[in-house]
Amino acid sequence: MKKTAIIISALILSGCAVGPDYKSPSTSFENKWFSSKSKQVSNAEIDVTWWKIFNDDLLNKYIEQSKLNNKDVKTALININKSRSLSQISLSSTLPEINADAGFDRSKFSNSNSSNNSGNIRNLYDVNFDASWELDIFGGNRRHLEAADARIGQAIASYDNVMLSTLSDVARNYYEARGYQKRIKILQKNVNLLKQTHSLLKKRAKLGEASEFDLVRAFGEYQATQARIPNIRAELDASIFKLSILLGLPPEALLVEMNDSKPLPIITNIIPIGMRADILRRRPDIKIAERKLAASSADIGVEIAELFPKFFITGDLGSQAKNFADLFTSSAGVWSLGSNLTWSIFNSFNTKANINIAKSDNKIALLEYEKSILEALRDVETSLTMYGREYETRDRLKKSLKSRKKAVNIAKQLLEAGETDYLTVLDSQREFINGEESLVISETNTVIKLIALYAALGGGW
């Protein structure tokens, strides 16, 4: 027995796993972001809890709720557990398979039998343990376990990817709703102003100080501005509905809590974005592709191992006795030890085809990994450009609004002095209203594009 154990151990220790040993591919690219020259960003390490820079307690609360209750996040977590169970199945193939059974048999010999046992009744107690162990000399089972472990990593990265997408969607819909609320507030303020202006013109028209054309034009502007509000309210409700679903709640669940409008955050600080190399460890979609590549590499070894014979050690240990009291005595013991070999010699054609398929899958996985890196770099560069340009747009719209407000005041002064007609005042007011709304849209887009930038950088999960 000792000699057999030594031989088995030597075989296992000397055995090597066939197929390629996986190494993570090397990458080479410029470490600085091409679009990072903007004054609004720095190459300092990003804050992965980026949503906290907005200093909004309600948003922080919704972020935490989505982590716990979002249905896609829960599904991704179940997939991790599923992958771990599949890995346990692969692990079991590397261990001995042990079975146990026990039995009792009572039999009577025929009275017509001429033997000494004629007419006797016999009891037989039997306890048995049998084991079978594949030595895995060529490492097929170990490669299978390696692939399963890589797929656990893939499932974990998929969970991270879902979490990243969920958190950014929560923040985006939250601030889209805040933007719609601010637009409604501005339009409602201007509706009230236009209504007052129309009332004033009616009085002046009776005194002959305003024309019928001015009166009709003012009423038309009042109605047109008011008509824009219902559609924006619909967009507001739709954003809140989406936000509720992201938190695992019915669509209407947040309507009351979100009813009180809050100001959009003021983005003035320099945003840290880190270096390009950081994206390889932060972006979960890159990790998904890398783990898929690792699994496909191990799959090659699994298929190559099928070209070689499989060695098994089998054993049986038990006890048999006529009387139960004798079952556990040394004299009742029985055992056997053996070995066998299986080899699909005439199936090598199919096996080689499967090896070629596995190698092709590995090449595809490598290309997908390289593509995921390129797409990640593109996402960040695009987000950087979009955020930087929107930031500039927002600042220019602020300056423009100041000028438009001044134009409204000048037009009113000229009207009172009798140096212009009301049409000039109305045009300046319309331009100011449009400028206010354009600024709110840009402020909202600045926040949303900053969220998109953080998502592209892979922060938050």
pLDDT at 360: 96
pLDDT at 4: 47
| Angle of helix 212-246 versus helix 422-457 axis, rounded to 10 | 20
Say whether pLDDT at 334 is over 80.
Answer: no
Q: Which of 54, 262, 259, 264 is nearest to 168 (CA)?
A: 54
Say whether pLDDT at 430 is over 50.
Answer: yes
Percent of the chain with pLDDT over 70: 83
pLDDT at 104: 62
Percent of the chain with pLDDT over 90: 43
Structure-block tokens of residue 214: 């001015």
Say whether pLDDT at 401 is over 90.
Answer: yes
pLDDT at 380: 92
Report residue 210's pLDDT band, with 50, 70 and 90 as the boundaries: confident
Distances (CA, A) of 340 to 128, 135, 298, 318: 20, 11, 26, 21
Q: Which helix (H) or strand (E) element contains residue 96?
A: none
DSSP state of 431: H
Whether the full predicted model's pTM is greater than 0.85, yes or no, is no
DSSP lists the bridge partners of residue 272 as 42
pLDDT tens, position by position, 43-100: 888 878 999 989 999 999 999 999 999 999 999 989 888 888 877 776 666 667 777 7
Say whether pLDDT at 1 is over 50.
Answer: no
**Which domains does the chain show, CATH number per domain?**
15-94+138-308+349-457 (1.20.1600.10), 98-135+309-342 (2.20.200.10)
